[in-house]
Every structure is written in structure tokens, then in C-alpha cells.
Chains A and B, each alone.
Chain A
Amino acid sequence: MSFVTIFYACIFYAASAMLIGGLAYKIYLYSRTPAPLKIPTTPAPTTTTGVVYRLGREVVFFESLFKSNKWIWIFGWLFHFSLLLVLMRHLRYFTEPVWGWVVLVQPFGKYAGFAMVAGLAGLWARRLFVERIKYISTVSDHLILLLLIGIGLSGLTIKFVAHTDIVDVKAFILGLMYFDWQPLPADPVLLVHLFLVAALMAIFPISKLLHAPGLFFSPSRNQVDNPREVRHLAPWAAELEK
């Protein structure tokens, strides 16, 4: 077993642990923290079903962002939707036999990589050239975009320019999943791609990438508008009545 294989096996176990453990901890914190007051941004749905649709529209279409700014919406939606296709396509490296719908997604996922990088480039351009957005950008905002662009470009390079032995890569990944380690091909572009992905997984729960779970816990979006009909009381607020 080569050093490269051992090293990458270790960082992927570590990154997975940080991603899953970190996210689980954050989600636990969010769910444990009470929302003492009814603060949906109105007009808001008056039923739980309505709230599911509202959140669904936010997740699928980025409804509020669409109302807000068409450029950010175009680039942001393009990036996220492409990323989804790319991730779905990558399931083929985690499943044996490959699921039928993953096979169907394959041709779209293959080219979605370009759209993903284009979306990211648009977002980065706004960060660099729009005065207001430049003002609010931190170093990490730029680095996260660079990280994602790096993942996209290295992935596209593997797919379209410098192929790696993808059968061996899949064997490596399945080996990780079933604790039966297999050698990883030591192609430089592949190693860069995998390293950046591990980095992204690791920083997810300690960075602004928390916007993903955050949306579902946002009281202004997930609350039902029924304060007159149902009494809403947080445990710490109920104490005040004793």
C-alpha cells in the first residue's frame, strides 16, 4: 500500500468525520435553540403544507434571491444546480452496480461541470468588481470560491484532458466505504481534485457553507403564520408565567 493511498484514505475518513460530525452538531444546536417569537416574514403561509412549499421554492428556485437580484440569482442558481448534477453523476463511483437513474444523469452531469465553473466565475467577478459586494467580502469568501473553482477545473481536466484510471479510482472509493483499502492511482490532477474535495468537506460545518442547513432553520421562512389561533410558547418564556 503506497503512502499516497494511505494518506488519501486517512484524509477522507477525517474529512467525512468532520463533515458529518460537524453538521450533526450544528443541526443539533439549531434544533435545540428555541424560537421564542413568531417571526415569519409575511405574507407567510398559514399552514404547515404551505411552509413546506415555501421552503421548497427557496431550495429549488431560490425564490427570494430571484426577487432580489437577477445576476446573483443566475450565477448562484447555475452553480448550485450544476453542482447537484455533478454530485449525482459522481454517485456512479460509490455504487456497484450503478443505479439506473445515475446512468441517465451521466451525460448531463458530465457537461454540468462547465456550467458550474461558469456560475462560480460569475459570482467571483461580482465579488471583485461590484463595489458593494467587494466591500462585504472577506478573504475566506474569495478562498471558498477559489476552492470550488479548483475542484471544478481539476475535475473537468480529469474528464476531458488528462484521464485517470477511473476503474481504479472507483475501486479505491468502494474500498474506503467497505474498509477494504485499494490502491489509488497517483495522477497529480486526480490528487489535487480529491484533496480539494476533502478540504471542502472539512470546512463545511465551520464556514458559511452552513447556509445549507441554516435555511431550513430560519424562523422567518419556516414558521406558520398562525399566532392568533395557536399559542406559541418557548420553554424559557413559559418560565416567566410561573
Chain B
Amino acid sequence: MAAAEFEVPKFREYPVIPALRPDEMAGSKPYVAAAPIQEALGFPGQLVDDWQAKAITRMGELLDKYRSFRVYMDACVHCGACTDKCHYFIGTADPKNMPVARQELVRKVYRRYFTFAGKYFPKLVGAVDLTRDVLDDWYSYFNQCSECRRCSVFCPYGIDTAEVTMAAREIMDSVGLGVKYTGEILGKLHKIGNNLGLPGPALEDTMLGLEEDIKDETGVDVRLPIDMKGAEVLLITPSADFFSEPHVDSLIGYAKVFHQAGISWTLSSHASEAGNFGLFIGNYEQMRKAAMRIRQAALDLGAKRIVVGECGHAWRVAYSFWNTLTGVGLGGEDPFAKALQQQLDPRHPVPQHICEFTYDLIQRGALNLDKEANDHRVITFHDSCNVARASRMGDMPGGQFVIPRSIIKSVANHFHDMPQDTICESTFCCGGGGGLLTDDLLEIRVKGALPRMEALKQVVDDHGVNFFASICAICKAQFNKVLPFYGFDTSMNGGVHQLVSTAIQLGTKE
């Protein structure tokens, strides 16, 4: 049990909605980004003098640029449907962690400056000036949202708090109030090519080491190539896969799948990161700049297919946004998109999730899998929020739920789902997504994990689950941290391709 300076929430006997504890988490704030971090991203180094006017101007610009933001500011009727849906509210009972109340922090300012009622009758409609106190609330509570979209599933108008959080973070960045964690990571990505700041040579060393490990374990020469021109597949994976546990075990799994399928592939040292924290800070230009590295790598290496490793928000950006941002996709009619797309193989989806890739191979009988190899494991699957509610796999709506489960059932005999209202589109966030995966936010991370941990506890008690599979680098890192707070062992934390890796029988097919 890790030592905590705060009270770890108790498992609830019944999932009752907690009574409100106002300002419970008002003190939870991430470290503010220093000037060099902010300036490297083109934001002011510190809070500018006329921040209030600048923030309102920026809000106006965002209202003109994003239909989501404009419509969501007007459409909420305060019906309360979302009030009990956020994992951070369930774990903290702080009313400002109710999605509607979180949105209201921005909406009450929107009303004051952009609506007739708020300009002339502010008290009547709950409109307020953008004061320093309000800004402090923004900094606190918009860094207690993991942009997981669970609230948007349940809103009768589909209002997505993630969009509001992104707008608020963008406004704060634009006046010089940024978060150290996300800013620093984006800086590294722009400079070196991945979130960890691993340069090319270090990456090559790591891959050579992994090749030796696989050889020792299986006796088979499985390659993990970098910057190999002419490879059919360019694999873009979260950099955590290169050295973090248990992430690396899934990377080994991908390599084994490529090996047995006999499909040539490569990593790129220029685009050695699937993650894109531009999403978290809600800045289109930053997100585009980060994604452009992938376009460049694909063009330089001449890849025909682009496959994305296990990472939730990265898959959202890849699946939903890459085509828009950088033309990595299909069906583009403009010269910018065509320059890349004429090189890509339209017989396969672009980009393709590693789970789609493996699933196809399994369907075609291209992999030799020994389910018994996973018999020591009783498995459950955590739907990562961005995969579940902001993307898809396969050609069917909901394929993102079917395909990973189908892979698990093809490589293992013992699988049990967590309760229905905590999986698929209703899945609970791990508690560390959306740019919150930093130790200065540990308290909110641990508390926000409560609903997920409760659901896990149920299948541990009922079925003896001992393997908690996910397909997200952030989920895996978050679970490493929070599982012990709830009395679980971190050894149960792992990836779907880690299971594939165990089951795949190398040397039997190729």
C-alpha cells in the first residue's frame, strides 16, 4: 500500500451518488508552466497584464471557429442528467466536478460577455465577470477533467465537456497560464519526436536489446526495425511502449505478430510517438504540428500502410483527426492530401489500429495461437475512453468494443467483462487521461480511479480476475500508480498484445 497524504476513497457497498462536498478539490492544481516551456509552444511566458481582455477575445475567436463550443455554450438546460456521470465527481464529491458545473465555469463567463441576458441581467441567469477567482477555478477544475466524454454519452444534446475543457485550456494558454506537464511534453515531441525525449540512437539501442530478449525467450530472430525505407507498414506507437512496463510487452507482441504474418514494418525515429498532447490542450495548430511528423515519416519511408499501437488518445487523434490534420487517411481530393494518399494502399484502412491489424490476421488464420499459454491468466478488459467514445475499429459502429475482446478470446480461455454500465460506451476513465498523468495531480488521479477500481473489484471477487488488459499507454501508466492504493497488485496490469505475445507460437508458421 502506497503512502498517501490524502484519503483514498473507500469502495462503496452500493454505487450511491455522493453528497456534495463543495471545494473539496479546489486546491488541486498542476504546476504552472515556466516561461521557456510556454514560449517554445508560441504562448506568452507568463500571465499577461491584460489577461482578462485577451481571454475574452480568445473566447470570441473560439466561438467563431468551433461549432461545438458555440452550440454547447447555448444548449445546456441544467437538466442534471450528467451530474452523476463523471468519475472525478464520484471519487471526490466536489460539485464543480459535475460535468454541467465544470462547463458552467466557462458558460457563466460566456453569458456575461456574449449574451443579451448575461449582459443586462447577469444575476438572473448566473453570469459573472472573468475575475482572478474565476480564472483560478478554471485552472483548478479544467485540470480535473480527463476529456473522456462519458458525460457526452448521457447528455440529451450530446454536450461534450471535453470540448469545453479544451477551449478553457486554450484560452488559459493564450494568456500565459499553461500547465508544466503537458507543455513540457509537447516541447519534447516537437524537438525530438517523442514525449520522452528519446533520441534516435537511444531508440535503436533499445530495439536491439528487445530483439535479444525475444531471441533469448523464443530462440527466434524477430526484428524491430527503425527507419527502414520501403517497409510496407509504418508503426506509430506511444513512446512509453519502448521502455515502460508493462507497455513494452505489447510492443514485443506487435513485433511477433508482424514477424509471423511476414509483413515488413518499421518504426520511425522522426515520428517515434503516437501520443499527441495537442489534443489535451485543445490547440489545433499544436495538434497539427505534432501530427505532421507522421505525415513526413510516411512520405520519407514510402510506407503503404500506417498502423497505430496501443494508445487511447493517440488512436482518437489518428482515427478521427489525422486525415483532417495531415491527410493521413483516404478520400482526400486536394493536392495536399493526394501527395501522401497516392502512396498509401487503399485496400486497408488508413490509419489502422494494431488491434484491427491483428484481428484481421486472426480471421484469416495467419497466426498460430496457443490459448493454453494464457491459462494462468483470468482476464478482464478496460475500454479506454478515447477508443470507446471518440473512435472506431473495423467497419461496424462499436467495432472498438468487439475487436479487442475478440482478440483476447482468441488468445486466452478465461475472460470476464466488468459490469455492463462500466464498459463499452459507458466505460469509466482510468483517472489519468487528458493530460493529468503527472504526480502533482496524484490525489485527483487516485480519487478519479474509484469507479473503475470498484468495477475491477467486482470481477476480481466474482471470477478471480488477475489480468487487467487495456490498449492505452496512459491507462497502463495510471494503473501502475493507482492499483496499489486500492489494494491490487500492479502485476495484473497489462496490454492486449502482451496476451497475444504469450500465445503466439513463433517458428511454426513462417
Contact = CB atoms under 8 A, between A and B. Distances in A.
A215 B157 contact: yes
A138 interface: yes
A234 to B, nearest CB: 8
Given A132-B98, A220-B158, A33 B78 contact: no
Contacts of B67: 30, 33-35, 217, 219
A13 B80 CA distance: 35
A49 interface: no
B405 to A, nearest CB: 14
B323 A211 contact: no
A43 B351 contact: no
Interface in B79-101: 79-85, 95, 98, 100-101
Interface stretch (B40-48, B228-236, B332-340): B332-340
Contacts, number: 230
A228 B319 contact: yes
B63 interface: yes
A44 interface: yes
Contact of A42 (B78, B331, B392): B392
Contacts of A203: 117
Interface residues of A, number: 67
Contacts of B401: 43
Nearest to B100: A136
Among A38, A67, A211, A218, the one with the most B-chain Cβ atoms within 10 Å of its Cβ is A218
Contacts of B325: 237
Contacts of B137: none
Contacts of A237: 284, 324-325
B487 interface: no
A41 B153 contact: yes
B210 interface: no
Interface residues on B, range: 35 or more
Nearest to B390: A42
A62 B332 CA distance: 36
B68 A219 contact: yes
B324 A227 contact: yes
Contact of B158 (A36, A45, A64, A231): A64
Contacts of B126: 138-140
A218 B67 CA distance: 8
A161 interface: no
Interface stretch (A68-76, A107-115, A171-179, A185-193): A68-76
Given A42-B400, A44-B397, A68 B124 contact: no
Contact of B98 (A62, A136, A138): A136
A80 B126 CA distance: 25
Contacts of A240: 285, 288
A29 interface: yes
B77 interface: yes
Contact of B320 (A37, A64, A206, A221): A37
A41 B158 contact: yes
B236 to A, nearest CB: 15
Contacts of A229: 329-331
Given A227-B324, A240-B288, A39 B160 contact: yes
Among B80, B163, B337, B395, the one with the most A-chain Cβ atoms within 10 Å of its Cβ is B80
Given A39-B160, A67-B153, A67-B154, A132 B20 contact: yes
Among A30, A41, A72, A135, the one with the most B-chain Cβ atoms within 10 Å of its Cβ is A41
Given A33-B63, A42-B425, A210-B75, A140 B324 contact: no
B392 A38 contact: no
A68 B156 contact: yes
B155 interface: yes
A194 interface: no
A214 B401 CA distance: 30
Given A68-B85, A225-B397, A237-B284, A206 B117 contact: yes
Contacts of B65: 33-34, 36, 234, 236
A89 B156 CA distance: 27
B66 interface: yes
A227 B154 contact: no
Contacts of B115: 206
A228 B326 CA distance: 12
A163 interface: no
Interface string A9-47: 000000000000000001001100111111101111110
B71 A65 contact: no
A62 B397 contact: no
18 contacts: A29-B70, A33-B67, A36-B65, A58-B156, A58-B157, A62-B156, A126-B80, A131-B19, A136-B100, A140-B117, A206-B116, A208-B75, A211-B76, A214-B74, A215-B156, A221-B158, A227-B321, A240-B288
* Interface pairs A-B: 10 shortest CB-CB: A214-B75, A220-B158, A138-B126, A68-B154, A43-B397, A133-B80, A221-B158, A231-B332, A68-B81, A65-B156
